[in-house]
Structures are given as structure tokens and as C-alpha cells.
Structure 1
Amino acid sequence: MKLLEHQGKQLLAQAGVPVPRGRVVTTPEAAQQAAAVLGCRVALKAQVPAGKRGKAGGIGFAGAPEDAAGAAARLLGSELAGSRVDAVLVEEAADIAQELYASVLNDPAGKGPLVLFCPAGGMDIEELSARDPESIRRLGVDIRTGLTADAARSLVTGLGLGEHVEEQVTSALLTMYRLYRTVEAELVEVNPLVVTGAGEVVALDSKISLDPGALGRHAELVADLVPERDDTGTELERRGRELGLQYLELDGEVGVLANGAGLTMTTLDAVTHYGGKPANFLEIGGDAYTKATPALRLVLDNPRVRSLVVNFCGAFARTDVMTEGVLAAIEELRPELPIFFSIHGTGEEKAIRLVRERLGVEPYDTMDDAVRAAVAAAAGEGKVAG
């Protein structure tokens, strides 16, 4: 579950990471009042669960309270990254001397937390990572010992930040790690973590994602931060929540259905590895196979989807039972796009036979083969079924 920027900043501030002064408003008049109270040049930031808001026009600035009202009026009610802007964060504009990047996230490869730090933060961190991956320092953390001060400091030394800034960034990393563990987050990211002209380190943005499976252990946190009705995300993501499905809309063309969050993430990584772009995260394991028809409809209702990979791997979960659910969904919805299967584990012989008999399709021997075929089909290349 993604928190909005102001919700994430609330957690960061409570944990001890400095954030700018600000207020969340829902009307232009409230934005004007907030700017007057702050008494300085302000930034107005659309509160939607999406990154790169600046490039999308979701951030404005105002030097006077009346200008803040106009900027808020332009943002409120607009749509940004598939979400309606119903709230705006009005906060003091920072005197930025340098932008840094810091995050703590789940690392499937290392099977534990991963801390990232880069002395060049800002909107283009993804492009920088692709262009110059060595510029981002990485540190895997053993959860039995946690993140130590010496380990955190090793990420920031030797970069010319200066002793005062190094100490503040080290403290911020340690605090972000404690917050990550305390709220059982999947991601705690600050981009940018800025150094001001006065040499102070401040979290200018926040991106925090909570583990949906852990929310029941944090009822007070959820009550404080999450509205009774969650209108965040895209239309398809909202539909997924209403159905009780873990669905996340992405910007690619290869649809994905897999069982288990880990296998689903692995499938997404494989799509990217073979040159494609995944269109969604949708975990359909456990009893979710009983919702195979609405799950498949979610994937198909994304107009970008041009192929679909179904990847099942069962131990306790039976692949034949999950496959039966997906086949029934395919027979009901009759999608016209090519579908590629990879099925392994408990019940695989029956599952593979069902796919052959009911769809006339041959499942692939490996996940990689199925993903490669789906990527090629989405690009208009190669065979269109398998």
C-alpha cells in the first residue's frame, strides 16, 4: 500500500528525519491561508501516489499567498498519473544546494533489506541508475544485526559531502531503516534528500509503501494515515482493491498472472530482462484463483496489454487447481491476445494436460522461454501462442 507524500513525511518526521514545514489543503482558499501562515515562498505538490510529479506538472511554486491559491486551483480536480488530485501539500520551498537519494527496500535477490544511497538525487534517478549504476552505493543488511552506524556511514563517506552533512545523512539512513522495520514497509525512499544552503539535510519528498499483509499488525498506523475510502491509484488499481486482489498497474505491454508475490516479482524482472515491459503486478495465489475471472478482466482492461504470461509454480498450492480457475476465466472472457504458460510443481502434469486439451496450447518448459515468447509477441515478433 502506497502512502501519499504527506503521509510518508509524517512518519519520517515522527521518526526524526527533518522535513519542511507544510500543510495539506483541499481548497484554493486553504492554500492561500497556509501560504500566509508559512510566510515564505512555497511549493504546492499534488498528493497522488505517483513519482515524477514535477515533470507531469504536479508541482508548482508561489511567492505570495494569492499566487498559492491560483496554483492550488490549477492542481485540485485535475488528473495526474491516473489519479484525481483531491489534496495539495503546501510547504516551504527549500534552499537547495545539493540533491541526494536514499532508500531502504526489500531485496528479493538478497532475501533481506537493501539500503541505497546516491550523491545525485532528483527526478532522474532511474535514468542515472541505468546510465551509471556504479554511482549508486548499495548495502545489504542482515536483519539479525540490523543497520549499524558504521555500515550506514560507509555509504556516505568519500563523496565530498563534508563531515557535518555526512553525520546528518548517516543519521537519516539509520532512522529510515528503523522506520522500515517498525512499520514493516516494503520501501522507504527519500528523493530528493536535500542539503540546504545552510548545510542542513532535509527530506524534500517521500515514498513509502507498506506491506499489505502486515497492516493488521499496525491498526493504529493505518487508522491515522489511511482514509476509510481509498481513492488513490488508477481506476484498475481501485477495482483491484475492491476485489481484494493485489494489483498494481505498470506502463508496459506484457500482462502477468502468477502465484505468490515472490514469483510474480521474478516474472516481472524476467520480462524486463528479456527486453519487455510488464503491464501489471497481479498475484493470484492462495484462494485468489477463485477470482480468476475478475483478475483476468483487470489485466485485459489495460489497453496497453498485448500479450499475457501465466506463470505457476506450486509446492503446497496445486498448479492444476489454479490453472483450472484461469482456464475457466479464459473460456468466459475469450481474450484475443496471445497467452503463454509456464507451469511447474504440485499437480503440473494435470495442469499441463488441461491447457493442451482446452486451449490447444503447449506450455513452455521454463519460465524464461514463456517470458521470451510473451515479450516477442508484445513486440509483434515471432509466434503468437504457446
Structure 2
Amino acid sequence: MNFLEHVAKARVLAPAGIPVPRAVHCGTPEEAQAAFAELGPCMVKAQVPTGKRGKAGGIKPANTAEEARARAADILGMQIDGHPVGSVLLEEQARIAREFYAAILIDTVGRRPLVLFSTEGGMDIEEVAATRPDALRRHRVDLDSGFDAAAARAMLSGLDLSGAEEQVAGILVALYATSGRIDAELIEINPLALLADGRVVALDCKLTLDDSAAFRQTDLAGSAAEEPMTDLEREGAANGLKFIQLDGDVGVLANGAGLTMTTMDVISHCGGRPANFLEIGGEAYTKSEAALKLVLSNPGVKSLVVNFCGAFARTDVMAEGVVTAWKRLAPDIPVFFSIHGTGEDEAVRLVREGLGQEPFDLMEDAVQAAVDAAHSGAHPAAQSQASGGAAR
């Protein structure tokens, strides 16, 4: 779940005691004009769940009420990185002395929270991290000891923060505590600005929460930003299916998000391009026809790989759903199966007798056949015969 800047500041940073500028969230140019009376000279900022807004022209200053109205009119309706701008945040202008960078994220390799800080904040922090990694301080948090003021001071030791060391340390500690409380995958403040009057203020915030924790964060999850969706993705959501449309030509139908991602990776490894993410694990196997229709409705799909691996889920039940759906929809593209796990023998028999297809012993062989078929346009029967000993 991604969140817009105004939500992250008002709902997360401010309640945690992290200073933020005065601001008004506006949906029309008229509202922006009225907000100027409260704020005075301000920045008009596009509200989209993506970075690089300034470089895209989505952040502009306004020094009069009429300018605020005009800037909002210019920004509203823009497309920034595929996201339409539906609202703007008017924020009081700040006299910036220095720009820092601070973030809390999950270190997936070390499997623990990671605190980041740099004295070189701003729009090009990615370049700083890539070209001068020493300019970015990293602290991997021991979950037993946590991250307190002493740890924050040690992390900042030796840095010239122009007298703002205690303020910055306090903000880092508050960020860490907040990230755990709200199940955040990322809280990033860039810039964390030292103002001319000596205050340290969060001038921006990027916030991402773990989707699987939505049941614990029901109040906050309801404020998540809407992600742009294709017509097929909206259809999938309406059917309770997590479907992501891609620009490849090999369709994917698998059970479980991990197996689906693995199948997509193998498609890429074999020289192909996956056309979608769609998994039918759990109760989604009862929606085989809707799922298959989604995959086949993507105009770029030239072949399909079906990859089932059952533990608690029975592969024969999933296979029966796909075979029945295939017969009803009668698509004219090659399909290749890899089936392993609980109910495997019955699943293989269903595919063999129902579709005349022979599932492959190895997932890699099924994927490679699907990639080859997408490239050549060969009929599935020809592919099955050509694979010889690779099939059952």
C-alpha cells in the first residue's frame, strides 16, 4: 500500500511528533486560491504515489493567491509516472539551510529493519547512494535491542549537522518506532530540512505499508492511494483476483504468489516475457474460468504456462477447474503444464484426457516450451511432440 504525501505527514509523521510544515490539501484551483489566505507564500505540490515530482513539473512555488490558483490548475490533471494528479498539497514555503535524508526500510537480505541517513538529501539521493555509498549511513537494527537515542547518536557520530544533531536523532528514533507500529515497509523523508531558524522539518514523505498487514492497520489502510489499473486489472479486482497486466507474450497461471513470481522469473531466464501476474491459490482456484479469461483477454498473449505445486492445496482440484474452463472458452493458443504435489497423478490424468496435453516433468521445460511457442507460433501438439523425453 502506497500513501500520498499529505496522508503520510498528517496521519503518520505529525502524530509521531515529527515536525511538518503547515499545509492544506486541495482538490481544485479554487480551493488552492482560498488556501493561500491561510498559508501565504507556498509550494503547490502534486499528490501522486511516486517520486521525481519536481523534475516532472509537479511542484511549483506560488507567491500570490492568483498564482496558487494558476499553479494548481497547471498541475491538476498532469500525468506523473503514469499517475494522474487528482489533488495538490499547498505547503508553506520554508527557508532551507541544509537538506538531509532519512528513511526506515526492511533489509530483506539481513531480515531486519534498516535505518538510513545522509547529509546529502534532495532529489538525487539515488545517485548519491550509487556513486558515493559512504555518504549514506546505514544502521541495521538488532530486534532485541531496538533503536534508541543512544543508537541514533552513534549512527550520526562524526557528521556535521550544523547543531541539529539532537533534533535529527530524535526524528530517527520516532521514525523507527512508528515504522514498526504501522507495519511500514518504507518511511522516507527527503528532504529532512534544517531551516534557517534552526528547526528540522520533514518537507516530504514517502510511505509504503505491508499489504498483508492491512487487517491490523484498517484505519490507515483506508487512506491508501489508488493505483492506476488497466481494464483487465479492474476486472480481476472485481472478481477477487490479484491480476497484474504486463507487456509480455507468455501468459502465466500458477498457484501461490511465490510460485507465480518464480514462473515469471524462469520465463525471463528462458528468453521470454511474462504477460501477467495471476495466482489462483487458496479459494481462488474456484475462479478458474474468470482467471483464465483474464489471462487470455490480454491481446499480447501467444502461449500459456500453467504451473501447479500442491501441498495443502490439491493440484487435481485446480487442474479440474482449468480443464473445465479451457473447454468452455476454447482458446486457440498453445498451453503447457507443470504439475507436482498433492493430487498430482489425478491432475495429470485430467489434463491428459481432457485436453490431450502431456504435463512436463520439469517446470523449466514447460516454461521453455511456452517461450518457444510464443516466439514461433507453433501449435501445442507440435511442441509436446518436439519436447520428446522432457514430457511425461
TM-score for both structures, normalised by structure 2: 0.73
Over the residues paired in the alignment, what is the CA RMSD in angstroms?
Answer: 4.5
Q: 1-side partners of 2:107 and 2:50: how far apart?
A: 21
Give the stretch that moved more between structures: 147-156 or 170-179.
147-156
When residues 285 and 66 of structure 1 are mapped into structure 2, their CA distance, relative to the original with a 3 A threshold, is same
Going from structure 1 to structure 2, the CA distance change for 1:149 and 1:298 (only over 3 Å counts) comes to farther
Give 5+ residue unaligned stretches, structure 1.
none
Uncovered stretches (5+) of structure 2, i.e. residues with no partner: 385-392
2:348–2:358: 8 Å Cα contact kept in structure 1? no
Name whichever of 321-330 and 173-182 sits farther off: 321-330
Letter in 2 for 1:234: M
Indicate the residue corresponding to 2:239 in structure 1. 243
1:293-339 CA-partner distances (Å, limit 9, x unpaired)? 44455566667888877665443233444455456666666778887
Decide which moves more: 48-57 or 334-343: 334-343
SS at match of 1:217: coil
Q: Provide closer, same or farther for how the CA distance between residues 162 and 127 of structure 1 changes in structure 2, counting only shifts above 3 A.
A: closer
CA deviation map 1:345-366 (0-9, x unaligned): 4445555666677484755736
Work out the CA distance in 1 between the residues paired with 2:162 and 2:281: 49
Structure 2: distance between partners of 1:252 and 1:191 = 35
Identify the residue that residue 62 of structure 1 maps to in structure 2: 62
| Aligned residues of 1:104 and 1:187 also touching (Cα < 8 A) | yes
How far off its partner does 1:38 sit?
0.8
| Counterparts of 2:118 and 2:268, CA distance in 1 | 23
The alpha carbon displacement at 1:65 in A equals 1.7
Aligned to 2:229: 234
Matched, 1:285 2:293: no
- The 5-angstrom pairing of residues 130-149 of structure 1 reads 136-149=136-149
User: What code does the residue aligned with 1:289 have?
Assistant: Y
SS at match of 2:180: helix
CA distance in 2, matches of 1:137, 1:342: 46
CA shift in 2, pair 1:348/1:239, >3 Å: same
Residue 180 of structure 1 is matched in structure 2 by 179
Aligned length: 378
Corresponding residue for 2:314?
318
Provide Cα deviations, 1:22-63, integer angstroms capped at 9, x if missing partner: 1111111110121232112x2222223333333333333222
Q: Alpha-carbon deviations, 1:280-304, whole Å to 9, x = none? A: 6555421123334444555666678
CA distance in 2, matches of 1:289, 1:356: 19
Identify which of 354, 362, 365 aligns with 1:365: 362
1:251-305 CA-partner distances (Å, limit 9, x unpaired): 8888765544555566677788999987765554211233344445556666788
Is 2:101–2:122's contact at 8 Å kept on the other side of the alignment? yes
Q: Deviations over 1:158-214 (max 9, x none)?
A: 4x3427444333322322222222222333233333344445432222222333443
Are 1:104 and 1:188, in contact at CA under 8 Å, matched by a contact in 2? Answer: yes
Which residue of structure 2 lines up, in the alignment, with residue 168 of structure 1?
167
3-state DSSP class of the match of 1:66? helix
- Structure showing greater radius of gyration is 2
345-354 vs 173-182, which moves further? 345-354
Q: 2: CA distance between counterparts of 1:122 and 1:376? A: 46
Matched with 1:93 is 93
Q: Distance in 2 between matches of 1:318 and 1:259?
A: 10
Residue type of the partner of 2:189?
A: V
2:71 corresponding residue in structure 1: 71
- Residue range with higher mean Cα deviation, 369-378 or 183-192: 369-378
Distance change >3 Å, CA 44–CA 320, structure 1 → 2: farther
